[in-house]
Amino acid sequence: MTFRNWWKSALLTMLAVCLVPIWATQVFSQTLAATPPMGWNSWNHFHRTIDDKIVRTQADAMVSSGMRDAGYIYVNIDDTWEGERDAQGNIQTNSKFPDMKALADYVHSKGLKLGIYSSPGAKTCAGYEGSLGHEEQDATTYAAWGIDYLKYDLCGLRTQLKAAPTPEAAHKMMVDAYIKMRDALRKTGRPIVYSLCQYGNDAVWRWGTDVGGNLWHTTGDITDKYDRMAEIGFSQAGLARFAGPGHWNDPDMLEVGNGGMNPEEYRQHMSLWAILAAPLLAGNDLTTMSPETVALLTNREVIAIDRDSLGKQGDRVTAEGPLEIWAKPLSDGSKAVGVFNRHTTALSIPVDFKQLGFKGSVQVRDIWQARDLGTMKDSYTVTVPPHGVVLLRVK
Amino acid sequence: MTFRNWWKSALLTMLAVCLVPIWATQVFSQTLAATPPMGWNSWNHFHRTIDDKIVRTQADAMVSSGMRDAGYIYVNIDDTWEGERDAQGNIQTNSKFPDMKALADYVHSKGLKLGIYSSPGAKTCAGYEGSLGHEEQDATTYAAWGIDYLKYDLCGLRTQLKAAPTPEAAHKMMVDAYIKMRDALRKTGRPIVYSLCQYGNDAVWRWGTDVGGNLWHTTGDITDKYDRMAEIGFSQAGLARFAGPGHWNDPDMLEVGNGGMNPEEYRQHMSLWAILAAPLLAGNDLTTMSPETVALLTNREVIAIDRDSLGKQGDRVTAEGPLEIWAKPLSDGSKAVGVFNRHTTALSIPVDFKQLGFKGSVQVRDIWQARDLGTMKDSYTVTVPPHGVVLLRVK
């Protein structure tokens, strides 16, 4: 090799060393969660009772109910699957999950993916074994099992964060913990969606992408009550600019079908989450769904709004007290428009198309009624049921 | 009298007949509740236990605590004071209130005003005698007692409203009921503040002024919990244009000092209500207030924001998830700016003075810290405690 050729080769090697990680980062962020993840999570309904058998029956129901074909792919096991570590420090499952690899194979055989849960602390929220000091080892184990999604819950690190000498030190500790697991997951080579269960602390939307999050909780936990759902959903305004393909704001899982809200309230919940381009993780028992619940969860046009390829989260356009109009730009130039009524009586409000950025006449479709309303000009007055929504697609 | 003079006189009489009611309406709406009413109401703390003795001790405490001198004037008795009607149909007090006239005299002797409660239905919310069919008679009684404020609670009319054949018929029934009592109150000649306790039904802010309301509840009842306070307060956006001197949006009474929220949360509550130009009706036990509660309720600069003579309700300027910036224009050209954190961890956010409508450099004062922060340009980054607020006055 001449000196010149050596230089050439060295330069190329250096370039490759520099560029490959950048390229890899791009690939990971572009292909993983290019649209908001959809699936199911065990916590909202099954809490600590989740086990291997339930996961299998839920996976079966995901297929038989038509949810898989509507886009729900991830079957996510929340906290309480963890056992002790073995002599080498490898994480084991507890007796509720006799063979995680076999479970993953089963779930994969259904055309679904399997998700799991851990914490950057020594213990998880429910007091099980966390990943602190075992990040690489755990990521390797997850990959070997065939895990496709990790929800990483800050909860277990709370004591340490509180003990930090300054808020800045606590922030750095938290960020470092998330980066550590990001790097561990990437090192496995397996595409594993990385969900920061992080309660919105320190405005996670501002730095969630930097630590490799494909999604991050923007709030505390949802509950199956209208007030809580509305409190979370309607306080997502102004977060749109932080989300996009591969990195999503997550206002927490769905409560649709769990029984604590009426059908109008669940319709509002589902519509708002779609406009927010929120991850759609069902949180109900999929084996006992009413036809109404299936219809709410699998409405193709609503799901199409959520996972529109443009990847733009919607935002509030206007409010008149409990009446709020939100809009989400879609890839075909149309907009999804949600007219939400947070009040306990029916209320009417004109939807002003100019205010929504349209000029001239528009074509309007009522999504939940699955009905084209024809061509309109200026505005369209809708009456929205108590705690309800009118969801339009305007072009 | 010549024919010409007769004509002159007749014309003048006709003019007077036509103009006096218009003039009277103007006077009433201009002088009554020219700024948002301030005072105290019995419901949040005492519920059904309110009686003559408690009202007197609360009135005493309103004076001794300095609240009266800070602007709290109305002492309002909520539901459960009502007795039966006598043979002539005149409403009587029940045994808890042996002599309402004497009580009014006592309250007046303290430099305060007395408020009372009724319903357009046959019964009140708590099942006592309502005003249905006795509106004029009741208004006359109130005036004779020396009542200065009436909270008129839709509650008792609910059954009839539900039985209405159409939503339009129900709406008309409700509106007519409020107009009937408005006219009855006006006929007494006594200035009685008219509060529509109406839960925001049928978007009352759109027609509350038309039925003579000096204030109207825009929402259901507040409770002494942060989530409920925040749900109500932050959903008042977009209602500013419906409020002004003599007619105010009322997001319900204060819970400050009742013990269900921490000091930061109460500070947020008080600040938000001030920016909303909301009526400030304390709902706590005034005889057992901590110095912190007194300081929160009587902060002169906060009260000055609420009852600024311009009478403009504030509105949300921007939101970034749980961080919301609200502003209220004030009569001296300055603006009250509330930076609210609805999250459970401290968060920082820059306040952009240009976005708030200011050009060049501004003078900034931190209201709760009672500290001039000097001259600033462009923006000022504030760190807001969990569920807290930084309240600025910017000029």
Residue B387 has which token pair?
A: 């569920």
Contacts B231 to A, Cβ<8 Å:
227, 230-231
Put simply, the answer to whether A321 touches B345 (Cβ < 8 Å) is no
| CB B336 within 8 Å of CB B274 | yes
Distance CA B290, CA B93 (A): 33
pLDDT beyond 50 at A213:
yes
Q: Which residue has the tokens 């309800």?
A: A388
Put simply, the answer to whether B227 touches A230 (Cβ < 8 Å) is no
Q: How far are the Cα atoms of A324, B17, B222 from residue B23, in angstroms, in the given order? A: 38, 10, 36
pLDDT beyond 70 at B375:
yes
Active-site residues of A, by number, are: 153, 221
> Phi-psi region for residue A384, left (φ > 0), alpha (ψ -120 to 50) or beta?
beta
* Chain A residues bordering chain B (beta-carbon distance below 8 Å): 167, 199-203, 205, 218-220, 227-228, 230-231, 234-239, 316, 318-323, 342-348
The residues near A27 (Cβ < 8 Å, ≥ 6 apart) are: none
The torsion angles phi and psi of A245, rounded to 5 degrees, stand at -50, 125
pLDDT beyond 90 at A24:
no
Contacts B343 to A, Cβ<8 Å:
200-201, 203, 219
pLDDT beyond 90 at B6:
no
Q: How many CB atoms lie within 10 A of CB A230?
A: 22
pLDDT beyond 70 at A18:
no
- Res A19: pLDDT: 52
Put simply, the answer to whether B343 touches A201 (Cβ < 8 Å) is yes
Helix ranges restricted to H, B86-166 = 100-109, 135-145, 158-163
Q: What is the pLDDT of residues A306-333, one digit of tens each?
A: 999 999 999 999 999 999 999 999 999 9
pLDDT beyond 80 at B46:
yes
The torsion angles phi and psi of A274, rounded to 5 degrees, stand at -65, -45
- Res B21: pLDDT: 47
Distance CA B387, CA B371 (A): 21
- Res A31: pLDDT: 73
- Which pLDDT band, with edges at 50, 70 and 90, does A8 fall under? low
Contacts B320 to A, Cβ<8 Å:
203, 238-239
| CB B148 within 8 Å of CB B116 | no
Put simply, the answer to whether A345 touches B220 (Cβ < 8 Å) is no
Q: What is the pLDDT of residues B196-210, one digit of tens each?
A: 998 999 999 999 999
In a 13 Å sphere around the CA of A247, the CA atoms on its Cβ side amount to 19
pLDDT beyond 90 at B123:
yes
Global ipTM: 0.88
- Which pLDDT band, with edges at 50, 70 and 90, does A27 fall under? very low
Put simply, the answer to whether A321 touches B236 (Cβ < 8 Å) is yes
pLDDT beyond 70 at B27:
no
Overall average pLDDT of the A28-57 stretch: 91
Give the containing element (helix H, strand E) for B58: helix B52-64
Tell me how far apart the 2 most distant CA atoms of chain A are, in Å.
Answer: 84
**B382 DSSP β-pair partners:** B349
Overall average pLDDT of the A298-309 stretch: 98
- Nearest CB to A321; choose among B238, B320, B344: B238
Q: What is the pLDDT of residues B315-351, one digit of tens each?
A: 999 999 999 999 999 999 999 999 999 999 999 999 9
A and B: number of Cβ contacts within 8 A: 88
For the question of residue B221 being annotated catalytic, the response is: yes
Give the containing element (helix H, strand E) for B248: strand B248-250
Catalytic one of B183, B202, B221, B366: B221
- Nearest CB to A320; choose among B167, B201, B238: B238
Catalytic one of B138, B153, B306, B308: B153
Overall average pLDDT of the B229-254 stretch: 97
Distance CA B10, CA B127 (A): 51
| CB B139 within 8 Å of CB B188 | yes
| CB B382 within 8 Å of CB B339 | yes
Q: Report the residue of chain A nearest B231, measured CA to CA.
A: A231
| CB A85 within 8 Å of CB A129 | yes
Helix axes B226-233, A226-233, angle to 10 degrees: 60
| Strand order from edge to edge, sheet including A193-197 | A248-250, A215-217, A193-197, A149-153, A113-118, A74-76, A38-41, A280-282
pLDDT beyond 60 at A13:
no
- Res A26: pLDDT: 47
| Mean per-residue pLDDT over chain B, rounded | 94
**B116 DSSP β-pair partners:** B150
| Mean per-residue pLDDT over chain A, rounded | 94
- CB crowding A191-207: b at 16 or more within 10 Å, else e: bbbbbbbbbbbbbbbeb
Q: What is the pLDDT of residues B129-159, one digit of tens each?
A: 999 999 999 999 999 999 999 999 999 898 8
| CB A256 within 8 Å of CB A297 | yes
CA dihedral B150, B154, B155, B159 (to 10 degrees): 140
Per cent of chain B over pLDDT 90 is: 91
**B348 DSSP β-pair partners:** B383
Put simply, the answer to whether B323 touches A203 (Cβ < 8 Å) is yes
Contacts B205 to A, Cβ<8 Å:
321
pLDDT beyond 60 at A17:
no
The residues near B26 (Cβ < 8 Å, ≥ 6 apart) are: none
3-class SS of residue A23: helix
Q: What is the pLDDT of residues B68-97, one digit of tens each?
A: 999 999 999 999 999 999 999 999 999 999
Residues B250, B255, B259, CA angle at the centre, nearest 5°? 170
> Chain B: nearest CA to A62, how far in angstroms?
32
Q: How far are the Cα atoms of B46, B96, B102, B229, B268 from residue B40, in angstroms, in the given order? A: 12, 19, 19, 18, 19
| CB A233 within 8 Å of CB A251 | yes
How big, in percent rounded to 5, are the helix, strand and coil portions of chain A?
A: 40, 25, 35
Residue B245 has which token pair?
A: 């001197």
- Which one of A320, A342, A381 makes the best mutation probe of the B interface by having the most chain B beta carbons within 10 Å? A320
pLDDT beyond 60 at B249:
yes
Q: Is the dihedral of CA A225, A227, A232, A238 positive or negative?
A: positive
- Res A25: pLDDT: 47
- Res B111: pLDDT: 98
Beta strands A389-394 and A347-352, pairing class: unpaired
Overall average pLDDT of the A344-363 stretch: 96
- CB crowding B252-278: b at 16 or more within 10 Å, else e: bbbbbbbeebeebbbbbbbbbbbbbbb
For the question of residue B176 being annotated catalytic, the response is: no
The residues near A335 (Cβ < 8 Å, ≥ 6 apart) are: A327, A328, A329, A356, A357, A358, A393, A394, A395
- Res B7: pLDDT: 60
- Res A12: pLDDT: 60
Distance CA B163, CA A4 (A): 94
Distance CA B48, CA B78 (A): 8
